[in-house]
A and B are shown apart, each in its own frame.
Chain A
């Protein structure tokens, strides 16, 4: 495979790992703050910073 393909696969793998961690955070109810869905979203798509309007589930 070419370097470009390798790079794209590597990026997809990284994103998939972050998505998986974000899903785990959602399952554990961590929506905002360190290690949260919001934090992982920013890691996956930095351009979302300042664009999100969180309204997460309430566990009260």
Chain B
């Protein structure tokens, strides 16, 4: 075979090699069947005699896997103990610490760690408690622990609904007190209260309590 004769053959080999490379790419990118640039289409281009002769089966792809729907909710224990708060100003840290423990995000978490993570004394201190009543710093700490959250000034009905499917922290402006919310209890909210009895509220927050002590800033977890 002369050198001149090899040119077209090498060109064809080049094209086939490129096609094989594209086939690998299609496999890696999960394009197994259908229109180009799927593996199936490229295979037929490589060898047209395969048309109608192969029975493609697409594997289960990583992108098809269901999202981690369970996440923290699979580990959530609404009955997680809420100890009495160690001082008058750290209710927000107690509520945050409770959420981190109850969700399993940080099972061994402590109130002292929560105070440090919120940021003492710029964001939480003995004079004012939590400085930002919206809970922005609580959300930041939750995010740092891998928990996505949202915040809103919500109605009782909205919080009651949320309590059926998630948890979080909330603070009544007239209450000046943060608690965790565990879930629903009949028509009421079941809360994790580090100052049981304060303003007449223990572990249950009724609609009347909510209206008396609000409005409420609610930081609730997403899942």
Contacts and interface: CB of A to CB of B under 8 A. Distances in A.
A12 B10 contact: yes
B127 interface: no
Size range of the chain B interface in the assembly:
20 to 34
Contact of B65 (A31, A32, A53, A58): A58
B21 to A, nearest CB: 5
Interface string B85-103: 0000000000000000000
A31 to B, nearest CB: 6
Interface string B24-59: 110111100000000000000000000000000001
B25 A41 contact: yes
Contact of B24 (A19, A53, A55, A57): A19
B10 A8 contact: yes
Interface in B51-74: 59-65
Nearest to B30: A55
Q: Is the interface of A mostly helix, strand, loop or mixed?
A: helix
B61 A55 contact: yes
A49 B35 CA distance: 24
B143 interface: no
B141 to A, nearest CB: 32
A57 B10 contact: no
Contacts of A52: 25, 28-29
A26 B59 contact: no
Given A15-B17, A19-B24, A54-B30, 7 more contacts: A26-B24, A37-B28, A48-B25, A52-B28, A52-B29, A56-B27, A58-B65
Interface of B: 3, 6-7, 10, 13-14, 17, 20-21, 24-25, 27-30, 59-65
Closest 7 pairs between A and B when the two form their complex, measured CB to CB: A55-B30, A57-B59, A55-B63, A58-B62, A58-B60, A55-B61, A2-B3
